[in-house]
Amino acid sequence: MTSTQGQDKDVSFAETALRLGGKSEDEATRTGAMDRADDQVEAMFAPQYKTVNSPIHKAVWETDVPIDLFRTPKMTAASLTLPAMTKSLDLIKKYKKEGKIWDEQNKVATSLLEDLGPAGYWGMFIDKKHGGQGSTVRQFMNFLAQVALIDPTTAGLASVHGCIGAVDPLQAFGTDEQKARLLPRLASGEALSAFALTEPCAGSDLTALRTTAVLKGDKYVINGEKLFITNAVPGRMVGIVCNIDGKPAAIIADLPKQENEHFKIHSYGLHALKHAYNQGLIFKDFEVPKENLLIPPIGDGLTIAYHGLNLGRLALCAASTGVMRTMLANMLPWSKFRETYGQPIQSRELVKRRIARTASLIVGAEALYNWGSDLLDKGYRGELECVIAKIFGSEAQKEVAIELFMKTHGGRSFVHGHPFGDNVHDFLAPCIYEGEGEVLGMAFFKSLAKAHGQQFFEPIGKTLAEHKLRTLNPLNPAQVWLLRNQLIPYAAWRAGKMFEGSASNVISGMSERLQMHVDFAQEMLNKLPLELSENMVKHQLKLADRQCRIAEMSQRVQDTIVILVTALYAHEHGNDVYMECADLLCQDLTRKLTGERPSDEYFKACSKLADRVISGEFPGLSEVETAEILLPYDKKNEAATSSEAKQAAAV
């Protein structure tokens, strides 16, 4: 947000509101800096692709839901695949089959990383003129989902390198000279990359950065410490966010191949990412050529950091579908082998519900990352849409791991060598990556409500400030009269919303069940503007402190969007099993929003879907290499013992 009359042009609406709300100067300034970084990223997009014109923003605040913006065109497997992707997948499968993916340190083998370079793996997102493959976002995300089926860590390294490492910052903000000099090395795999943003005191609050860079001659001299940096290995290329002259900046650095007095690795025990190197970086008078500084056309280092997050969030959702498919594939042989009271547990209604729920969550996550990818390929910023994909994908993976996968396998989940016990931290960690879910949900609400606040509440806030009033008391006639010119536009908007009809879009050829979910989502979206606005009126300048209320409202918007996107995706996909999965997921989310209880018909539908999954009708499971059943019992001996016991009892 730019300035308003009577205020410094660099002061954002959020910063002004926090000051009026009684926050400290420091908190207001820091929040304002984050808000401006967001605005600066927004300014990079054409008007029709900005957040205010995004599908979600239009669906919530405008009268009609732009249904076509929520539909994801179906693409063939061939159109989603590049030759380099096929080569890379074959290579990773070969390493997996030979048991060579991990080295003696239990990390992804250096030989695999090196062999993937000639296959084109590291240059998927890089323009062809710089030696890359020129992949679209949607192609890349579907590729990541396939890699995650084989090895999630290898998929994660591709995401780090291409989405949030040095590739995206260089492609989006690098000069022609920087691109020509650095991108070919990143495309070939000669230089693998990371992005050094987080610090011991700077996580969600990126304004707390302490790492500095000072220009001395033709070099920047960097001092500071970075933490939780995936792919932080000597010899890698790293984008470093630091302060230059008190302002955030981003600079690309080649790390030395060995530690020295100017560069140290801070190693620590980390339960997640055990097959990758996630470490800290310590810089002491570390020199980087000045020509490696990235200078965005607008904004600063925070703008650069914000830009790549959308890709990283989609990548997390895409990888989650591969991981969840792997868990589902491993549930099936166990549920067939394990028996209770002489019957395999896959015949039990409870286990069938778990199988069906897992399948439905996979379809929901797949719908979201394909939808978000398609929007980014069309030119949209996609901030709101990518946030939903990240939150849903990571939370779905957590639910599948804990509530469905672990509980189905019981005590064997904790035996060494079991996929759950060996990988539980990796299953849970995406809830934190690229922004912890609830915190990110609050950022989602802020972006969703921002334009509405600027249009109607900023003029009221300015007038209150001019008269040294903190809040508006609508029961005070004098205040209402004082603010009459500012209140009239809002009153007109509110009256219009109260009397407008509900949006309705009938999708040609859609099943009755899925159309019902589309109708429900549209009805919910029609109700949301007034509720969101009423909370802004109720809490006024204190709304920022109502974090639980913001998180709750945000989640309901997200759930509604997931219903709409999943139903439309399943319809476009045209697969009967996907449609059943979408129906069950939409039912689950609808009950979450309405408080209703599941019907017997719902449980029957779960069992029906589970039977189809068990029979092999769910796509992608046949490609998964399942783990061996641990501590198996001898069914023949058990049957013989049972028979002998029955005979003895009869005697």
pLDDT digits (tens, 9 = 90+) for 373-403: 999 999 999 999 999 999 999 999 999 999 9
Pairing of strands 237-244, 339-340: unpaired
Is residue 7 pLDDT above 50, yes or no?
no
Contact indicator for 22, 470 with CB cutoff of 8 Å: yes
Give pLDDT, residue 11.
54
Per the model's pLDDT, the better-predicted residue between 460 and 48 turns out to be 48
The span from the CA of 190 to the CA of 177, in Å, is: 18
Band the pLDDT of 645: cuts 50, 70, 90: very low
The span from the CA of 128 to the CA of 125, in Å, is: 9
The span from the CA of 619 to the CA of 607, in Å, is: 18
The span from the CA of 436 to the CA of 102, in Å, is: 29
Give the residue carrying structure tokens 């003696």.
104
Is residue 5 pLDDT above 50, yes or no?
no
The predicted model scores a pTM of: 0.92
The span from the CA of 559 to the CA of 589, in Å, is: 6
Per the model's pLDDT, the better-predicted residue between 303 and 115 turns out to be 115
| 439 Cα distance to chain centroid | 12
Give pLDDT, residue 630.
94
Give the residue carrying structure tokens 């009033």.
469
Is residue 225 pLDDT above 90, yes or no?
yes
Buried b (16+ CB within 10 A) or exposed e, 369-382: bbbbbbbbeeebbb
Band the pLDDT of 4: cuts 50, 70, 90: very low
Amino acid found at 20: L
The span from the CA of 499 to the CA of 263, in Å, is: 64
- Give 336-380 pLDDT, tens digit per residue: 999 999 999 999 999 999 999 999 999 999 999 999 999 999 999
Give pLDDT, residue 305.
85
Range from 104-113, 536-545, 622-631 carrying the lowest mean pLDDT: 536-545
Band the pLDDT of 9: cuts 50, 70, 90: very low
Q: Sketch out the chain's domains with CATH numbers.
A: 83-305 (2.40.110.10), 309-437 (1.20.140.10), 446-612 (no CATH)
The span from the CA of 234 to the CA of 307, in Å, is: 26
Is residue 514 pLDDT above 70, yes or no?
yes
The span from the CA of 350 to the CA of 534, in Å, is: 42
Amino acid found at 476: N
Q: What is the mean pLDDT of the chain?
A: 91
Contact indicator for 311, 188 with CB cutoff of 8 Å: no
Q: Provide DSSP, 78-101.
A: TTT--HHHHHHHHHHHHHHHTT-S
Question: 73 to each of 18, 77, 215, 534, how far by Cα in Å?
Answer: 43, 13, 50, 36
Give pLDDT, residue 10.
53
The span from the CA of 146 to the CA of 132, in Å, is: 20
The span from the CA of 23 to the CA of 32, in Å, is: 12
**Overall size of the chain counted in residues:** 651
The span from the CA of 140 to the CA of 84, in Å, is: 11
Torsion sign (Cα): 303, 70, 162, 157: positive
Give pLDDT, residue 512.
96
